[in-house]
Structure 1
Amino acid sequence: MSQTETTNEPVQVSNKYDGTQIKNAVDDEISRFYSKEQNFSQSHIHSDIKLLLGYLSCFIAGGSFLYEYKTSFNDALTVTTVCVIVYWAIQSVSFAYGYFVEKDELFAGTKKVDGKSTSTLKISGKIDKHSPIYQLCFSYTDIGSGKSVSQKVEPNVTTWFDTQGVLVQQAMDSDLSAYLSTLVQKLHQE
Structure 2
Amino acid sequence: MVKRKKDSRQGIKFPVKVNKWDGSAVKNALDDAVTDVLTKKYSYEVNYSLIDGRLLLCGIAVGVAMFALLWDWLYPFPISRPVLIICVSTYFTFMGLLSLYTTYRERGIFFVAIQKDPIGFVPDNLWEASSMLKKYDDKYNLTLSVTNGKTGHVRSGTLVRSVANFIDENGYILNDLVEPEVTKLHASLVSDKKDK
Q: Could you tell me the TM-score, scaled by structure 2's length? A: 0.85
Aligned to 2:187: 181
Is residue 32 of structure 2 the alignment partner of residue 20 of structure 1? no
8 Å contact from structure 1 (residues 112, 119) kept in 2: yes
Give the conservation status (yes or no) of the 8 Å contact 2:17–2:173.
Answer: yes
Change (3 A) 1:118 1:78: closer
Deviation at 1:139, TM superposition (A): 1.4
Aligned to 2:101: 97
Say whether 1:34 aligns with 2:41: no
Conservation of the 8 A alpha-carbon contact between 1:18 and 1:130: no
TM-score by length of 1: 0.87
Q: Partner of 2:62 in structure 1?
A: 58
Structure 2: tracts of 5 or more residues without a match: 1-9
Aligned residues: 186
Give the aligned partner of residue 46 of structure 1: 50
2:127 to 105, 121, 130: 121
Separation of aligned partners in 2, 1:49 and 1:79: 26
In the aligned structure 2, how far is the partner of 1:108 from the partner of 1:21? 21
Equivalent-residue separation in structure 2 for 1:75 and 1:7 (angstroms) = 59
Give the counterpart letter for 2:155 in structure 1. V
Residue in 1 that maps onto 2:16: 11
How far is the alpha carbon of 1:131 from its aligned partner?
Answer: 1.4
Aligned to 2:86: 82
The code of the aligned residue for 1:132 comes to D
Question: Residues 35-94 of structure 1, C-alpha deviation per residue, up to 9 Å, x if partnerless?
Answer: 222111122112111111111111111111111111111101111111011000011001
What is the root-mean-square deviation in Å for CA atoms of aligned residues? 2.2
The SS at the match of 1:154 is strand
8 Å CA contact 1:138, 1:150 repeated in 2: yes
Q: Equivalent residue of 1:123, what SS?
A: strand
2:168 paired residue number: 162
